[in-house]
Structure 1
Amino acid sequence: MTILIDRDQVISSPALVPAGGGLAHGHAELTIGLINNMPDLALKATERQFMKLLQAAAGPRRIRFHCFSLPSVKRSPEARWHVESEYSELTELRHHKFDGLIVTGAEPVAPELDQEPYWRDLTELIDWAKVNTRSTIWSCLAAHAAVLHLDRIERRRLPAKCHGIFDCEAVTDDPLTRAAPAPLKVSHSRLNELAESDLAQAGYQVLTRSAKAGVDIFVRQYVSRFVFFQGHPEYDALSLQREYLRDIGRYLARERETYPHLPVSYFDAATEEKLNRFEKKAAHQRHPALTNELPALNLRADIAAGSAAAALFRNWLQYLGADARAPLLAR
C-alpha cells in the first residue's frame, strides 16, 4: 500500500505510486517505507498511527509512504489477505529510492530472536538499510534484533513486563530531540531490555532514558543514521489499554499463566482501584465470559499522548529533507 501524504489530503492506492507528478508547492518530496510486522490485531492501527504522525510532522513536504511487511511473519488468514492485497511486496523495496524506513517489532514466537522465522528476512533488511537509506527507525523488538545482528548485543529478560507511560529525559543534545517536551512521556511495552553499558561499549549513543524504564532512544551512524526506539512514541492514547485488555483476555482463556500488571502512570486512580478489584475476582472466577464485567476505564489526564512523537518525527523528517549533498551526519 502506498499513501501519498501532504498537509491537506491523504490519497490511497494499492500499488507503488510512480515517481514524478510534480512537487507540492515547490517543496521537497520524501519517500518513506513502513515495514509493519506488528501482531495482527495491531496491524491496521499501526498503519494509522504512523500515517497520522507523518502527516502532522510533514509541514509543506509531500511524503510517499509505502507499506511492507516481512513475508515470514506468521499471520492469520484475514491479516495475510490484508497484507497481500494492500501492501507492496518486500522485493520492491530494492527497486526504489527510500529516504527513510520505519521498521516495527513483531510478536515473539521463538525463545531467542535469532530463532524467529523472520530472522533471515530481517537481517537482510538491516544490512540493506545501512547503505540505502538516509535514516532508519527500528522500533522495540526490531531495535533489539538490529543490535543483536550488528554487534551481538543480547537483550536481557525483565523480571516483569515494562508496560506504561514513562518520563524520559534527554541525556545529550541531538537534532532528533530538539524542541521536544521535557520530560518526554513515552509508551513502553516490552518483556526485555538492552543495557546502556552494553550499548555504550559497542559505540551507540543514548539520547533519552527513563529512571524507571531505562534506555529509551539511541542512535548509531552508518551510511544511514540508525535510530532505535525501545519504546513506542507512536502509540495513541488507547494503545496500552488495548494491550492490557488483550492480556487479561488471554489470562482468562488460560493462554497465559499470570495476570497482567497495571500499566504504569496510565489509568486514573479510580480506574486502578476498580481494576485491582477485578483482578481479585478473576483469580477466583477465571473464565473468558468474565471480560463482560470489566469496569469502565478512564486514563490519567497527564499522559500527553503523541506529544513526544510529534517532536521526534518532525525533527526526523527535517533530517531526511536536508540537502542530499550534505554529509549523512547528525546536524
Structure 2
Amino acid sequence: MSSPAVVEAVGGATVEIALVNNMPENAAEATVGQFETLLRRAAGQGITYQLTCYALPQSDVARGSASSTHEEIEALYARGADALIVTGAEPRAERLADEPFWADFSRLVLWARTHTLGSLWSCLAAHGAVELLDGVSRRRQDQKISGVFACSATPDDWATQGAPEEILVPHSRYNSLSREDLAANGYVISSWSPSVGVDSFWRREPSLFLFTQGHPEYTANTLASEFRRDALRFLKGTSAAFPKLPDNYFSGAAQEEIALLRSSPEVLDPFSFLERFDRILEQNPPTANWFNDAERLYGNWLRLIVAERNEEPIGTMARKAAFSRCKT
C-alpha cells in the first residue's frame, strides 16, 4: 500500500475535529486536556481547527459530571466532522464484545469509514476497531506494558515523515496486537519496538485510519498518576499485585526511593504511601521526552487531512446523506 504524501502548504478552512472520549470519569477532563495540548502544538500557525468533544451513551463520560462538556454522539452523526479521534478506555471485560459500549462503538467505527477524511484510534479503541473490521483479536500480555519505549520508525511512511530512526512513545496497556496479524490484513506498520510490539499503524477504509497502541498524547505525569492509582488499588485490596514501575520513565533516584518505599511497613497504609510517593515525585519530576515525536505524528496527521480535504472536499450535507443511507 502506497503511503500518502504529507504536504507542507496547508491553509484553507477550519478543520472540524471530533474527540470521542471513552475514559473513566475521573480521567475524562485530563484526557481532553492532553489531546487539546498536543493538537495545539501540532497545528502550529499553519492549521486552524475546531475541537468538539462527544461521548458514547454507555461511557462513564455520558453518565458523569463530564457530560456537561461532551455532546451526545448523535450530534456528531448529524453534524459530521473532517477528522475523528477516539480515546481508549480502561478495560472492564475480557472480551471487547462484552464491553458495555461495544454496540455504540461498532456503529462509530463503521460511520467513520465513509464520513471522515481521517480517524485516529487510541489504544483500546485501536484494538476494538481492528477486531470489528477484520476479526484481529488483541492478546493478553503476561504483565502490563507500561513505560516509555524507543520505537523504530518506518522510512518513507507519511506518519513518521521527518522522524529519526527511533522515536519515543509512552505505552500503558495489558493487551497487544500481533504485527503478523495486522500485516496479513493490509495494515501498514509505521513504528514498532521489539520489546512492546507495534506502536502505530494505518490503513485506508476509505477514510485514512491511523491507530496507536501507545499514548503519544500523555503528559509528563500521566504514567506516574497511573502507577499511583494502581498502587492504591493494591493497598486497598482491590488489586492482587503491586504494580511494576513503568520502564524508562522515573529517574534513577526516584526508582531507588520508590523501591525503598515499597519495602517499608508504611506501604501498608495507603495514606502514608501516597504522601511519600507524591513527595518523591516533587523532588524527582518526570519529563515528557517523547513530546517532540508526538507533535510530529499529529502534525503529519493534521496536514494530511487538510491536504486530502482540499483535493476532494466532503461537505456536511454529503455526510448526512451518506449516513442516512447507511442507517437503513
Q: Does 2:225 correspond to 1:238?
A: no
Rounded to whole Å, the distance in 1 between the matches of 2:135 and 2:144 is: 23
Distance verdict in 2 for CA 1:186–1:285, change over 3 Å: closer
Distance 1:241-1:180 versus aligned 2 partners, 3 A rule: same
Unaligned 5+ residue runs, structure 1?
1-25
The within-5 A match list for 1:44-123 is: 44-58=29-43, 59-74=45-60, 80-83=64-67, 85-123=68-106
Question: How far apart, CA to CA, are the structure 2 residues paired with 1:255 and 1:117?
Answer: 21
Residue 286 of structure 2 is aligned to residue 286 of structure 1: no
- The question of 1:197 aligning with 2:180 is answered yes
Measured in 1, the distance between the counterparts of 2:269 and 2:276 equals: 11
Query: 1:41 Cα deviation (Å)?
Result: 2.2
The unaligned stretches of length 5 or more in structure 2 are: 1-10, 314-328
On the 8 A contact 2:55/2:61 being kept in 1, the answer is no
- 1:140/1:99 Cα in 2 relative to 1: closer, same or farther (>3 Å)? same
The CA distance in 2 between the partners of 1:155 and 1:262, in whole Å, is 23
Instruction: Give the deviation of 1:314 after TM superposition.
Output: 0.8
Q: By percentage of residues, which structure has more helix?
A: 2
Instruction: Say if 1:35 and 1:70, in contact at 8 Å, map to a contact too.
Output: yes
1: distance between equivalents of 2:271 and 2:220?
Answer: 26
User: How far does residue 82 in structure 1 lie from its aligned partner after superposition?
Assistant: 2.0
Q: Which residue of 2 aligns with 1:304?
A: 289
Cα distance in 2 for residues equivalent to 1:51 and 1:293: 31
Q: Which secondary structure state, in structure 2, belongs to the residue aligned with residue 324 of structure 1?
A: helix
Q: CA deviation at 1:42?
A: 1.7
Deviations 1:14-69 (A, max 9, x none): xxxxxxxxxxxx74310000001112222111111111111122223221111011
User: Quick one: distance in 2 between partners of 1:264 and 1:35?
Assistant: 29
Provide the identity percentage: 39
On the 8 A contact 1:153/1:199 being kept in 2, the answer is: yes
**1:19 matched to which residue of 2?**
none
The 3-state SS of whatever aligns with 1:315 is: helix
Distance 1:125 1:269 in 2: 43
Once the two structures are TM-superposed, the CA of residue 300 in structure 1 deviates from its matched residue by 5.7
Tell me the distance in 1 between the aligned counterparts of 2:290 and 2:308: 32
Specify the alignment match of 1:229 in structure 2: 212
Deviation per residue, 1:150-209 (Å, 9 max, x gap): 111111111111000000111242122111244211000000100101111111111100
The answer to whether the 8 A contact 1:165-1:186 is kept is yes
Normalising by structure 2, what TM-score? 0.86
- Distance in 2 between the 1:241 and 1:81 partners? 24
Number of corresponding residues:
299
Q: 1:99, 1:133 within 8 Å by CA — same for their partners in 2?
A: yes
Task: Output the CA distance in 2 between the equivalents of 1:228 and 1:323.
Answer: 18
Following TM superposition, by how much is the alpha carbon of 1:76 offset from its aligned partner in structure 2, in angstroms?
A: 9.5
Residue of structure 1 in register with 2:8 after alignment? none
Matched position secondary structure for 1:168:
strand
Confirm or deny: 8 A CA contact 1:181 1:307 kept in the other structure.
no
Q: Deviations over 1:120-142 (max 9, x none)?
A: 00000000000000110000000
The TM-score with structure 1 as length reference comes to 0.85
SS in 2 for 1:296: helix
Structure-1 separation of matches of 2:236 and 2:109: 37
**In structure 1, what residue type is equivalent to 2:309?**
A
Distance 1:306 1:177 in 2: 14
Q: CA deviation at 1:211?
A: 2.0
SS at match of 1:180: coil
Return the alpha-carbon distance in structure 1 between the equivalents of residues 28 and 286 of structure 2: 26
